[in-house]
Amino acid sequence: MNVDAALPTFVAESRELLREMETDLLACEHGEADPEVINAIFRAAHTIKGSSGLFGLEAIVEFTHVVEGVLDHIRDRTLDLNRELTALLLECRDHIQLLIDSVAAGGDGRAPLLDVAGASLLERLSVMSGGMVLSPAEVAQSEPPVPAARSSCAKASDAWRAATDCWHISVRFAADVLRNGMDPLSFIRYLTTLGSITGLQLVEEALPPVERFDPEACYLGYEIAFRSGADRQRIEAAFEFVREDCELHILPPGSPVSEYAALIRVLPEEDILLGELLVACGTLTRRELDHGIQAQESLAASQQFQLPAPADVLEHGWHVQPAAVAARADTRSEDSVSKEAKPLHGSLRVDGEKLDQLIDLIGELVTAGRQPAWRHGRPVSRS
C-alpha cells in the first residue's frame, strides 16, 4: 500500500516537528513566550494531528487534538502560558513522541499503558485550562457532538463510537504465503483459541480472471469480528509468523466510527464493498457505516474544493473578469511568497506542507458549508 510506504516519512517528519516543539517549549519556559514561537508550536501539533488522521492513527489524532486546542487558546491569549502549563505541554509533547515511536515500531499508538498515560495528561490539561478543553470523558458525555466553528471533521466523528463489543481484524495475505508453507486459515483457526469469531467475511476480490489465476498464489483476505478478552498484543501475536507477509489492521471494540471509515479508505478494495463486508460481519451497523461514509465524503469533497490555479482557470476558458483573476492570483502569490519568506518549519518537506494545506481545507470546508456564496457567488461573470 502507498499509505504504508509513506508512513516512514510521516514518522520522520513528526519527530522533526517534535524536536522543534521541544526547543520552542523550552524557550517559553525561560520566559520567551513570543507569539511566533507559540504559533510554531501550535502548527507543529496541528500538522501532526492532521497527518495522523490521514494515516488513520486515531489515538494520535485524539490526543493531539486536545493539545492543539489548548495551544489555540494560548495563541488567542484566552489562556496564559505559565510555567506550570509549559511543563505540562512538554509532558504532552513527550507523550506524542511515545505515540509516534509506537507507530514506528509497527503499532498505531494504542496500547493499554499509552492510553492510560494519555488520558491522565488530557485530564490535567482540562483542569489546567479551566475546562476550556474537554477531557476525553467529558467529550464522550457531550454526544451528540456539536461541531464548533474550529472543530475538524475528525473530531465530530470521533465522538461516535461503534456499538460493537468485538475487535475488528482485517487481514490481507501476500501472494507468496502459500508457497512459503503457511496457510492463512491456520492463523484464523488459531484466533479461535483466544476468543470467538462472531462474524467473518472472506474477501475474494483479488482473485484474478481464470487465465491469470495462479493456484499457488494467495489472493484471499478476511474481515473478522472477534470477541475476546485478549489485548491487542496477543491478537497481533496470532499473526506473528506471517507478520511480514500480511497487511494486518486491528481495531479495538467500540472504536470511533471514523476509524472504521479510515480502515475502509486504506484497504485496497472498493469502499462500498468493504462497507458492506463490515456490516455483514457485524462490526458496524448500517447507521454507523452511513455516518462513517458521510465523514469520508466530506473529506473527499474537501479535496475537490481546492481552487484551480489561476493558470488553469485561464487555460480552461472560465469566463472570469480579468480583475478577479488578477486579484486571486495576487492572493495566491502572496500566500506562497509569505510561506517561502518565513517557513513555519524550516525542515518540513514538501509533502508535509501539502498535508497541511489539506488539513486547512478540511477546516475551510466546515466554514464553506455555511457560506455557499463563497463558492458560487464569485468567479463567474458572463456577459
Q: What minimum distance in Å lies between the beta carbon of 190 and other proteins?
A: 12
Q: Considering the complex, state which of residue 28 and residue 284 has its C-beta at the smaller distance from other proteins.
A: 284
Q: Considering the complex, state which of residue 202 and residue 272 has its C-beta at the smaller distance from other proteins.
A: 202
Which segments within the chain are labelled E, that is strand? 167-173, 196-203, 221-227, 246-251
Q: What minimum distance in Å lies between the beta carbon of 208 and other proteins?
A: 9
Beta bridge partners of 316: none
Cα 284 from chain centroid?
A: 19
Give every CB contact of residue 380 below 8 A, 6+ residues apart in sequence.
318, 319, 320
Give phi and psi for 358, each to the nearest 5. -60, -45
Q: What minimum distance in Å lies between the beta carbon of 182 and other proteins?
A: 9
Quickly list DSSP for 103-152.
HHTT--S--HHHHHHHHHHHHHHHHHTTTSS--HHHHHHTPSP---TT--
Q: What minimum distance in Å lies between the beta carbon of 199 and other proteins?
A: 9
Q: Considering the complex, state which of residue 31 and residue 215 has its C-beta at the smaller distance from other proteins.
A: 215
Q: Considering the complex, state which of residue 140 and residue 207 has its C-beta at the smaller distance from other proteins.
A: 207
Closest CA to 115 of 105, 102, 104: 102
Give every CB contact of residue 265 below 8 A, 6+ residues apart in sequence.
56, 271, 296
Q: What minimum distance in Å lies between the beta carbon of 311 and other proteins?
A: 48
Give every CB contact of residue 255 below 8 A, 6+ residues apart in sequence.
58, 161, 162, 168
Question: What letter does residue 76 receive in the DSSP assignment?
Answer: T
Number of H-type helices and E-type strands within the chain: 16, 4
Q: What minimum distance in Å lies between the beta carbon of 187 and other proteins?
A: 10
Q: What minimum distance in Å lies between the beta carbon of 224 and other proteins?
A: 10
Q: Considering the complex, state which of residue 55 and residue 222 has its C-beta at the smaller distance from other proteins.
A: 222
Q: For residues 324 and 343, what is the distance between their CA atoms, to the nearest angstrom?
A: 28
Residues that bind other proteins (CB under 8 A): 178-179, 183-185, 188-189, 197, 200-202, 204, 207, 210, 213, 215-216, 218-220, 222
Q: Considering the complex, state which of residue 103 and residue 224 has its C-beta at the smaller distance from other proteins.
A: 224
Q: Considering the complex, state which of residue 179 and residue 287 has its C-beta at the smaller distance from other proteins.
A: 179
